[in-house]
Structure 1
Amino acid sequence: MDMDGDWPLPRPNTLLKIDQRPVDSSLSKTSSIASTFSSLATPVVAEAVQRVKELSTQSDAEGFHQLRIAFRKLRALYWAYSPYLGKEATAQATEEFKRLAALAGGTRDWDIAGDLLEAAQESRASIALLVAAAREKRAQAVVHSQTMIKSDDVEAFLNDVLLRAQTTLQSSCDDLPVRAFAEERVRRAQRALQKRSRRAARSETAQEENQTAHEENLHDVRKAGKKLRYLLEFFQPVIKGGHDRTIKDLTSVQNMLGQFNDIAASETLIRGASFNEIPAEIVQESLQWLEKQKGRSMRAASRWVRALAS
């Protein structure tokens, strides 16, 4: 549920250098748009590079999860600065962030599916066979992720794309204060969340006719909420008013929507996978259990979305 894109990666032996000075955590309203981008993006890039290096030899579930989050944060940041970065450059970078996040997410998705199947196993012992098969799928996903995500290539790409962004911003908005810009981008993200929440609230009443559309709308709310939360966390030091409560509320909504998304994504994952050694009735039994859990989780998530829409 979560477009693959291609980015011409420079070779590792021609790494472009970025500003590696310590990040000043005390961003202020007088900071420039350009310098703020550098301060915000550099630590996220550093974390992503470190995660990729660690995962080349490890298969820690939380490591894959945090790597995916780092790429999602970079996507949100590039969206925020897209008016100055340009449409084409933003699209190229974010498509690659999305592709890399999806590669990291393959392992995480099977971790979640496996955990859900273990929960189902408590009342349906026959599902134990499918739990073991899901763990094998997880092991295969680890190998695929480690094969496709090369640490040298990812580091080269991130160094390159960050340097390009820094160069563009320094030439176009190095003398422009960040505060008004940050507040406008946050407002735009808030409007997008409100719009998607209202759409999801409307689709809830018609979900019997088109449940898939309602699921997709809930997924859109989740993505819009994540973007807004990341932007608030990035820009909180430079925008007016305290936003701790808003971030806390968004986190609560994201947790509820995340639970629904985990179940829906696991159902889709199992439906699309082949389990040649598992009897079809066992797979079907697990899908029926997931469908029931999804219905409960969807109703809970929909209540939260109605509150957002209002």
Structure 2
Amino acid sequence: MDMDGDWPLPRPVTFLKIDRRNSGSPLSKTNSIPSTFSSLASPVVAEAVQRARELSTKSDAEGFHQLRVAFRKLRALYWAYSPYLGEEATAQATSELTRLAAVAGGTRDWDIAGDLLKAAQDSGASVEMLMAAAREKRAQAVVHSQTNIRSDDVEAFLKDALHRAQSALQSSCDDLPIRAFAERRVRCAQRALQKRSRRVAQNEATHEEDLHDVRKAGKKLRYLLEFFQPVIKGGHGRTIKELTAVQNKLGQFNDIAASETLIRGASFDEVPPEVVLASLQWLEEQKCRRMRAASRRVRAMAG
């Protein structure tokens, strides 16, 4: 989706700065809904802009990954406030955030694939030529990310999106207290996760799509708990810890599944087909093993 056609972006005059002192717990139960959106989004926006600026001259995989995480957190925040932002505005912003996250993730995805191919080599598979080709794909992904994620454009989009959201919230829910709203949205995210987890638990066979759905729902809930923890009742530190543990298992499975998809969808002109096939067979075996482990963890959570 080309957001530029529907959403004119102002050119930024100044850059945002991350204030670590105020980004930890910016909320209190007396805050209004509009003010909390700005308090929660601004540090994440500032981090995204700073990382985009740093990555214009660097190719650090972790930097690209953290940029993708920032975009995902903002997407979760838009979902949380969507009842007051409206369907169209939420869809516009999240569509562009999804696109940016995908572009930012390309380098990280090839790094993960490269690490897995190294593990395949350590286990005896002859994948040296494919590993070299994967490093070249990684270099191409860096160029693609740097070309399509420019800090000025990222800042312009995010600042404009934040301004539009703030205006919409002030006109639709000014002075409404945050606690009841936050608890309601967290419960909604919890129900979505429970529904997807039960689907995995009730089906005799585990499907990749169901595990991916659980992973996405778990991420959303964890982000919301981290955002709203200062104002919602009850301690949720244990829940966040449990979600993180489940996400780790699901993430290990997702790394394999995503790498398999990445390699299947790429062209390797200089690599013999039998080498690519051997790597895919190894990945398929590992994917099945990790899928079983992830499924057991999800079933335990659902039970």
- Please indicate, yes or no, whether the TM-score normalized by the shorter chain is above 0.5: yes
What whole-Å deviation, never above 9, does each CA across 1:145-181 have from its counterpart, x for those lacking one?
1111121111100010000111111222221100000
Map of 2:299 onto structure 1: 306
Counterpart amino acid of 1:234? F
Aligned-residue CA RMSD (Å): 2.0
Question: 2: CA distance between counterparts of 1:35 and 1:242?
Answer: 23
Distance verdict in 2 for CA 1:90–1:26, change over 3 Å: closer
Q: Following superposition of structure 1 onto structure 2, how do residues 175-194 of structure 1 map, counting pairs within 5 Å?
A: 175-194=175-194
> Residue 149 in 1 paired to residue 180 in 2?
no
Deviation at 1:50, TM superposition (A): 0.5
The answer to which of 231-240 and 273-282 deviates more is 273-282
> Residue 219 in 1 paired to residue 217 in 2?
no
Map of 1:45 onto structure 2: 45
Whether the 8 Å CA contact 1:260–1:294 is kept in 2: the answer is: yes
Question: 2: CA distance between counterparts of 1:99 and 1:206?
Answer: 32
Q: Mind listing any 5+ residue stretches in structure 2 that lack a counterpart?
A: none
What whole-Å deviation, never above 9, does each CA across 1:117-151 have from its counterpart, x for those lacking one?
00111122521111111011000000011111121
> Residue 133 in 1 paired to residue 133 in 2?
yes
* SS of residue matched to 2:3: coil
Q: Structure 1 length normalisation: TM-score?
A: 0.92
Give me the identity figure in percent. Answer: 76
The answer to which of 29-38 and 117-126 deviates more is 117-126
Distance verdict in 2 for CA 1:14–1:226, change over 3 Å: closer
How many aligned residue pairs are there? 300
Whether the 8 Å CA contact 1:117–1:127 is kept in 2: the answer is: yes
> Residue 168 in 1 paired to residue 161 in 2?
no
> Residue 280 in 1 paired to residue 292 in 2?
no
Deviation at 1:307, TM superposition (A): 1.4
Map of 1:249 onto structure 2: 242
Distance verdict in 2 for CA 1:17–1:271, change over 3 Å: closer
Q: Structure 2 length normalisation: TM-score?
A: 0.94
Q: Following superposition of structure 1 onto structure 2, how do residues 53-202 of structure 1 map, counting pairs within 5 Å?
A: 53-124=53-124, 126-202=126-202
Map of 1:206 onto structure 2: 205
* SS of residue matched to 1:268: helix
Question: 2: CA distance between counterparts of 1:184 and 1:109?
Answer: 35
Distance verdict in 2 for CA 1:18–1:144, change over 3 Å: closer
Question: 2: CA distance between counterparts of 1:18 and 1:300?
Answer: 42
What whole-Å deviation, never above 9, does each CA across 1:62-97 have from its counterpart, x for those lacking one?
000000000000000000000111110000000000
Whether the 8 Å CA contact 1:15–1:159 is kept in 2: the answer is: no
Whether the 8 Å CA contact 1:27–1:238 is kept in 2: the answer is: yes
Question: 1: CA distance between counterparts of 2:153 and 2:142?
Answer: 18
Map of 2:231 onto structure 1: 238
Whether the 8 Å CA contact 2:16–2:49 is kept in 1: the answer is: no
> Residue 268 in 1 paired to residue 261 in 2?
yes
Map of 2:290 onto structure 1: 297
Whether the 8 Å CA contact 1:15–1:156 is kept in 2: the answer is: no
Question: 1: CA distance between counterparts of 2:15 and 2:134?
Answer: 42
> Residue 6 in 1 paired to residue 10 in 2?
no
What whole-Å deviation, never above 9, does each CA across 1:218-238 have from its counterpart, x for those lacking one?
000000000000000000000
